[in-house]
């Protein structure tokens, strides 16, 4: 029994010695996925309709966020910052309160496909009209 | 009057000389979808495994082909040319005969998502190993 206890103590110490510094480093300076160059490459497309499978894309842009912000998106740097701020969750982008839109139904559908920080993305979101689309977030959907 | 006629003749000849070749060139090369700026924006990703839904992408690049070739693809110009040559049909890319590969099974899966000349693309293809992947086409899958 004492031997078991000694082993347990040794294991605990070893675990602390091995994992401790790693944990410390992770806490001190979290390795961001960007710095690890996890691939982040997206295509954002906009189509007029309420279903992406039925509406041909009117515009499409690329957006790379690692190692640096680039792509045919008109403001890649801001779009990447916005997406990082939302931790890659497109649904987390909320409507800005300073934009007033009519309730006219002229649907606009946004799709996002590709890879974000090493994970596959396939996202679709329909807005009631172009104004409502523009009221979500700041730069990501502005293309 | 004779001077005016001479000027008119000179102008007509100049117009023919300047516009003639342009018109000829335009007729010889019909407007391609690229020249109409139909959106073409793709994300190409590679993962190690035989199923893209199970394998996390190891690398991902963007490729825009309109209005000009760009993106994080290492050779966007050649990749766009190759894809145009295949008329956007990824399955049309054939294995080059000058490449010999072993039959080792270490599967590599390529995915292509986004928009090609205004149409949505969602493509997946698994190769038996990296060498086999490299033997298909020339530059499109070389990233």
Higher-pLDDT residue of A78, B16: A78
Whether B26 is covered by a domain: the verdict is no
Record: contact B115-A41, CB cut-off 8 A: no
Distance, CA of A61 to CA of B40 (rounded, Å): 8
Taking residues A17-22, report their average pLDDT: 38
Residue A95 has pLDDT above 80, yes or no: yes
Taking residues B13-33, report their average pLDDT: 39
Whether A113 is covered by a domain: the verdict is yes
Instruction: List pLDDT tens digits, range B112-126.
Output: 999 999 999 999 999
**Per-residue pLDDT at B36:** 55
**Per-residue pLDDT at A57:** 96
Which candidate in B60, B73, B119, B143 is best for mutational testing of the A interface (most A CBs within 10 A)? B60
Distance, CA of B63 to CA of B36 (rounded, Å): 18
Whether B140 is covered by a domain: the verdict is no
| B39, B53, B56: residue with CB nearest A118 | B56
* Interface check B122 vs A, CB under 8 A: yes
Whether B25 is covered by a domain: the verdict is no
**Per-residue pLDDT at B126:** 96
Record: contact A42-B43, CB cut-off 8 A: yes
The contacts of residue B101 (CB under 8 Å, 6+ apart) are B128, B129, B131, B132, B135
Record: contact B62-A52, CB cut-off 8 A: no
**Per-residue pLDDT at A38:** 86
Beta carbons of B52 and B124 less than 8 angstroms apart: yes
Whether A28 is covered by a domain: the verdict is no
**Which CATH number characterizes residue A80's domain?**
3.30.350.10
pLDDT-derived band at A4, boundaries 50, 70, 90: very low
Torsions phi, psi for B111 (to 5 deg): -125, 145
Domain that holds residue A76: 2-20+33-135
pLDDT-derived band at B136, boundaries 50, 70, 90: very high
Whether A53 is covered by a domain: the verdict is yes
Q: What number of H helices and E strands is found in chain A?
A: 3, 4
**Per-residue pLDDT at A137:** 87
Whether A37 is covered by a domain: the verdict is yes
Instruction: List pLDDT tens digits, range A64-87.
Output: 998 889 999 999 999 999 999 999
Record: contact A45-B118, CB cut-off 8 A: no
User: Which DSSP string corresponds to B2-33?
Assistant: HHHHHHHHHHHHHHHHHHHHHHHHHHHSPPPT
Instruction: List pLDDT tens digits, range B71-102.
Output: 999 999 999 999 999 999 999 988 888 889 99
Domain count, chain B: 1
Whether B87 is covered by a domain: the verdict is yes
| ipTM exceeds 0.90, yes or no | no
Three-class SS of residue B68? coil
User: Average pLDDT of chain A?
Assistant: 80
**Per-residue pLDDT at A40:** 94
From chain A, the residues in CB contact with B45 under 8 A are 39, 41, 114-115, 120
* Interface check B37 vs A, CB under 8 A: no
């Amino acid at each position: 029994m004492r031997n078991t206890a000694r082993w347990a103590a040794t294991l605990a110490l070893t675990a602390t010695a091995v994992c401790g510094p790693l944990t410390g480093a992770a806490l001190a300076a979290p390795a961001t996925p960007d710095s690890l160059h996890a691939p982040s490459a997206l295509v954002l497309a906009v189509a007029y309709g309420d279903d992406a499978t039925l509406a041909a894309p009117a515009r499409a842009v690329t957006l790379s966020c690692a190692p640096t912000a680039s792509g045919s998106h008109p403001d890649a740097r801001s779009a990447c910052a916005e997406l990082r701020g939302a931790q890659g969750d497109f649904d987390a982008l909320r409507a800005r309160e300073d934009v007033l839109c009519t309730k006219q139904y002229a649907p606009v559908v946004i799709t996002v496909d590709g890879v974000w920080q090493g994970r596959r993305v396939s996202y679709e979101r329909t807005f009631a009209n172009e104004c409502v689309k523009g009221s979500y977030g700041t730069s990501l959907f502005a293309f």
